[in-house]
């Protein structure tokens, strides 16, 4: 649901953002512009498998993926 906050697990770290997975198996993408803090800090701190708090922003119809912002890590 748009605007809802969820704990998610980092699945992949890419130079342009993070792919995370919700507990129900749904995949989300967090673009680095939506980190809320400096991207360098996130990339230096987060590792695959880490839990992060995200907020759902939208459903991208073109790639059938949820887009989210990073709230806390």
Longest dimension (CA), the chain: 31
Question: For position 44, what pLDDT does the model report?
Answer: 87
Total residue count of the chain as it appears in this document:
73
> Tokens 């912002």 identify what position?
69
Lowest mean pLDDT segment, chosen from 7-16, 20-29, 58-67: 58-67
Lowest mean pLDDT segment, chosen from 14-18, 33-37, 53-57, 60-64: 60-64
Of 55, 45, 44, 63, give the one whose Cα is nearest residue 20.
55
Question: For position 28, what pLDDT does the model report?
Answer: 92
Cα distances from 26 to residues 40, 56, 58, in angstroms, run: 26, 12, 14
Q: Please state the rounded mean pLDDT for residues 31-45.
A: 82
Question: For position 38, what pLDDT does the model report?
Answer: 72
Report the mean per-residue pLDDT for the chain. Answer: 88
């Amino acid at each position: 649901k748009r605007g809802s906050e969820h704990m998610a697990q980092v699945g992949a770290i890419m130079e342009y953002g993070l792919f995370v997975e919700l507990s129900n198996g749904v995949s989300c993408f967090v673009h680095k512009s939506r980190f809320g803090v400096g991207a360098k800090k996130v990339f230096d701190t987060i590792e695959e498998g880490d839990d992060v708090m995200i907020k759902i922003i939208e459903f991208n119809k073109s790639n059938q993926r949820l887009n989210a912002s990073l709230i806390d890590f």
